[in-house]
Amino acid sequence: MERMDKSNKELADDPFLLASWIAKSMAGELSDEELQSLDEWRKASGRNRRLYDRIVSQEGREAKQKHFMAFDKASGWQGYSRRLKKTGKKAIRWRVFLRYAAILLISSGAAIYGVLHSGEETVSLADLNAITPGGTRAELVLPSGEVIDLVEKSGVILRGENTVINNEGKTLSYKNTGNQAPVDSLRYNEVIVPKGGEYQLVLSDGTLVYLNSMTKIRFPERFSEKCREVEVCGEAFFEVAENKRVPFVVKTDAYEITVLGTKFNVTAYADEQVATTTLVEGAVSISGKCIGEAKALRPNEQFVLDRVSGSVEIKNVDVNYYTAWKDGMFRFRDVRLEEIMHVVERWYDMTVVYEDESVRDLHFGFNMSRLETIEPLLNIFELNGKIKITKEGKVLKIKRGR
């Protein structure tokens, strides 16, 4: 904690360190501790948030690229240093920074522009045509076929003989008030999260499930005494309640995951070539016709299935990149543009058109909140010059840059 407080103070006192950290965060190159410090600095005051937003989402990306090409960064730093020595006042020091902090380029090609007009604290109104981020929305389908909009309906949805279904905030929860159900009398519900949505679900055994955009989960209102089984299409993060006597099984269209109590992420969209399971803690076993012998995963391992070739791989990964979505973040490191855009399309409920097919294979890396409008994200892609993005309503057209 003491080290974290020191980092926050360093950010507050050194604007160029702050700019470099923001740049590295957008390229996926900050450590988890540094990323947390930057996030705490941003949330510490409205002024910090406005400054952060101005750095990452300034309008006129092309003009700023042109400015960077002509900007003498060494002279800019010398000018900043000279001005800094002339005053000890923090307010003036920040105005000097805003005038002289140009761009800090980092290895992945992302860039940050300093705000060149220093005296202004105002933030412009959002573009009325901005593509806004997704939010809390989902539908519940009851065994009768009745569909309930979980945004419109809150509180107790159903109070049955053995189950209470309650919807509060962004969480739908099931409470078992009776004995476990016989296998032949299970009542199945479905939660469907649309494009541009996310939701949370607490199953009757206490298992917590985070549901990402375009995800469907089918599950019983209460589990049997022999097995806890759910079906998933899309992406979900599970925190499975431990029960050594009754295994928990997640079925996808490609394979099954069996656990006793653990945390893991499943990505199994029907329209994507690759399906993955990423283990955070505990242990899981993965089986299926296309897999052969069951595969066991240990923490920080990822199971990867290529649906087309049938190939299977288990590799070590940084799990934070695969679970960041549930914490409101985009985190990518050296990932193909097409893969990133699949995520973006689902979350922002929009469409991507490639005017140059070759750009699909370009690689990018960045960290940023997925709770912002799409503009800061577009800045990250365009500022390195590899691609040019044109926004037309809810459609992004992408082609080669310089």
pLDDT for 141: 97
The average pLDDT across 394-402 equals 90
Which comes out higher in pLDDT, residue 387 or 402?
A: 387
pLDDT digits (tens, 9 = 90+) for 222-260: 998 888 999 999 999 999 999 989 999 999 999 999 997
Average per-residue pLDDT in the chain? 80
pLDDT for 183: 53
The average pLDDT across 6-29 equals 64
The average pLDDT across 15-29 equals 67
* Confidence at 127, pLDDT banded by 50, 70, 90: very low
pLDDT surpasses 50 at 107: no
Least confident of 25-39, 212-226, 374-388: 25-39
The average pLDDT across 23-40 equals 73
pLDDT for 82: 53
pLDDT for 41: 81
pLDDT for 225: 85
* Confidence at 54, pLDDT banded by 50, 70, 90: low
* Confidence at 57, pLDDT banded by 50, 70, 90: low
pTM, rounded to two decimals:
0.72
pLDDT digits (tens, 9 = 90+) for 183-206: 557 899 999 999 999 999 999 999
Which comes out higher in pLDDT, residue 37 or 7?
A: 37
* Confidence at 28, pLDDT banded by 50, 70, 90: low
The three state secondary structure string of the chain is CHHHHHHHHHHHHCHHHHHHHHHHHHCCCCCHHHHHHHHHHHHCCHHHHHHHHHHHCCCCHHHHHHHHHHCCHHHHHHHHHHHHHCCCCHHHHHHHHHHHCCECCCCCCCCCECCCCCCCCCCCCCCCCCCCCCEECCEEECCCCCEEECCCCCEEEEECCCEEEEEECCEEEEEECCCCECHHHCCEEEEEECCCEEEEEECCCCCEEEECCCEEEEEECCCECCCEEEEEEEEEEEECCCCCCCCEEEECCCCEEEECCCEEEEEECCCCCEEEEEEEECCEEEECCCCCCCEEECCCEEEEEECCCCCEEEEECCCHHHHHHHHCEEEEEEEEHHHHHHHHHHHHCCEEEECCHHHHHCEEEEEEECCCCCHHHHHHHHHCCCEEEEEECCEEEEEECC
* Confidence at 347, pLDDT banded by 50, 70, 90: very high
